[in-house]
Homo-oligomer: A and B are copies of this chain.
Amino acid sequence: MPIEIKHPVPSDIDIAHAAEKLPITEIAKSVGLLEDELELYGKYKAKVKLEVLDRLKDVPNGKYIDVTAITPTPLGEGKTVTTIGLSQGLHYIGKKVFTCIRQPSQGPTFGIKGGAAGGGYAQVVPMEDFNLHLTGDIHAVGAAHNLLAAAIENRMAKEARWSTDFLAKALCPDNEYTDSMRKRLDKLGIKSEKPSDLNDADKERMFRLNIDPDAIQWRRVVDVSDASLRNITIGKGGKGNGLVRESGYDITVASEIMAALAMCTDLADLRERMGRIIIGTSKKGGKMHAGTIEPITAEDLNVAGAMTVLLKDAIKPNLMQTLPGSPAFVHCGPFANIAQGNSSIIADKIALKLADYVVTESGFGADCGMEKFMNLKCRYSGLVPDCVVLVATIRALKMHGGGPKVVAGKPLAKEYTEENLELLEAGLPNLLQHIENATKFGVPVVVAINRFKYDTDAEVELIRKRAKETGAEDAVMHFVWAKGGEGGADLARAVVKAVEKPNNFKFLYDDDMSIKEKIETVAREIYRADGVDYTPEAEAKIKQFTKMGLSHLPLCVAKTHLSFSSDPTLKGTPRGFRMPITDVRASVGAGFIFPLCGTMKTMPGLPTRPVFTDIDIDVETGEVLGLS
């Protein structure tokens, strides 16, 4: 539908409210979805059933485009705006396009950041629904996550209290195993038809998980920015109130379940992933376990089935629309450092059957989000990307060239508001290294310059020249924030051209490389480190995971997005540094090993004046006020 473009550009929520949205049933019809394949959530949102993949299994996939960015300033460089705007641009030039993006966390929406539905004339609507509960998927992830947490605590408390015989009788009152229990029997290599078959040693191994409280890595989650929950002591208040233990909360989108949901390919895969989640290990030296440490999974706790049940609707992608009425899937929002930072595989798979061009976004800069898009997401999905769109701003490039610090809420220094080709030239290597990295995956690259009002033609031309010299197919500026689809038409045309180029997609490392070889490959090839240093803890974990048979898993390196290196203050293209791996963890449900380069914050805090201060409701119309 046509939108009247105003100047100056109104607030995001005013643009969103002024838009004439199509009923989501119309959007669905326009991409060939059948009525029975939809589950409506009000008039403007719908879940799409996975059955559609069966119906369309013989339809060839559309072109698959990943939007990523150079190393950003703390303000962000407009990656989501470009993603949505590129889609609107493709729609504008008459292409059949689908956008696939992440659902944002409510924590930052009410805390520091505000909404994340794009901005200006490049938005997904209704923006309130996008930014608030949407269809409840994040809450479902939280419910499944916290159910597992309660199951852990409860099992430890009950094991501390009861004899193994009592536990066996309580867990199998009819002397029968559940399917989940049979999986544990298989894992332990115990042959038994009924609990009464078991000898004492096997009964103990089977029914006493003997969880080591100090080895539990499963915390709790909530979709609120609440710093005071980062570190808590649980189980206080005496008998019946659990065992006293140090633990804490992460924001829900940091849950391994969110990563697994985004990574799974169908319900059966999700059920498997839930069962594989490792919550910690057994204690060394349990009576019957002497000397061996066993990873304890959600399956061992007999709760993976219930967790999957809680996610049975969350697995279905959410259909929405962009301002001009092109279709968008908003589905999953895993963290971009400790997880893959990419929207769901299932949404992409369905979109690729329904449209000729699918535009998706990966979080953070290309050294983080794109690397994980390629090595992780595409590895699990089997999909082949046709183009990488690398978002750059002249502001960020000047910062990499040595420009003054860019701070949210402070006015920009004159280096950023005046033409400065020298500073830009000095910062360009950051962009060029990202281009080189992307081409290592064998995929064509288009640079998208998110143009601001200060930027000059000479500056744009300089980027264009250097980018093309370095192997980019093209470098095109866009104005989607101010002009919507029309402002993204040139970029869209460049992408249409690029996706037809020959594609030599390949992963950066193979499954059968060792964990260390994988880490070192990413560190050298992407970050350009001289080498990797491991703490003794990281070394021990790598050994442990290798012994557990987990070394085939791909990597999800957790590092800052503000530098190629692990030091956020090193801008541009750092050289002569080593990557410090401080710890290594395994998200077996999500399907990756994640080495940590430093401490990652997994629970945001609130500023003195949180965004919620401005948010209210018009009690007459029900309209949300102050959300941006």
Residues of A within 8 A of B (CB): 39-43, 47, 106, 110, 128, 132-133, 135-136, 139-140, 142-143, 146-147, 149-151, 153-154, 157-158, 162, 166-167, 170-171, 173, 178-180, 220, 222-237, 240-243, 245-246, 248, 266-268, 271, 302-303, 305-306, 308-310, 312-313, 605-610, 612-617, 619-620, 622, 624-627
Interface of A is mostly: mixed
Beta-carbon contact of B151 and A612 below 8 Å: yes
Please, which residue of chain B has its CB at the minimum distance from the CB of A306? B612
Expressed in whole angstroms, the Cα–Cα distance for A146 and B302 within the complex equals 29
Which of B237, B313, B610, B620 sits near A151, CB closer than 8 Å? B610
Q: Do A616 and B308 contact each other (CB < 8 Å), given the known contacts A136-B139, A228-B241? A: yes
Q: Pick the contact of A39: B43, B128, B136, B305 (CB < 8 A).
A: B43
Q: Are A143 and B106 in contact (CB under 8 A)?
A: yes
Q: Contact check, B622 vs A267: say whether CB atoms are below 8 A apart.
A: yes
Judge whether B234 and A229 touch: CB under 8 Å: yes
Given A153-B226, A305-B625; 11 other pairs, CB 8 A cutoff? A136-B139, A139-B140, A146-B224, A149-B224, A150-B224, A162-B608, A231-B235, A232-B235, A267-B622, A305-B612, A305-B626
> What chain B residues lie within 8 Å of A222 (beta carbons)?
146, 220, 222
Chain B hits for A220, CB < 8 A = 222, 229
Chain B residues in 8 Å Cβ range of A228? 150, 153-154, 157, 234-235, 241-243, 245
Would A241 and B230 count as touching, CB distance under 8 A? yes
Contact yes or no, B147 A305, CB < 8 A: no
Note all chain B residues with C-beta closer than 8 A to A179: 616
CA distance A43 to B605 in the complex (A): 39
17 residue pairs A–B, Cβ–Cβ below 8 Å:
A41-B42, A110-B147, A139-B139, A147-B224, A153-B226, A153-B227, A154-B610, A167-B608, A171-B609, A171-B613, A226-B242, A229-B234, A266-B619, A271-B619, A303-B610, A305-B612, A312-B624
Min CB–CB distance A306 → chain B (angstroms)? 4
Q: Which of B135, B267, B612, B619 contacts A302 (CB 8 A)?
A: B612
Q: Are B227 and A147 in contact (CB under 8 A)?
A: no
| Residues of chain B with a CB closer than 8 A to A617's CB | 267, 271, 305, 308-309, 312
> In the complex, A623→B303 CA distance in Å?
17
**CB proximity of A112 to chain B, nearest CB, Å:** 11
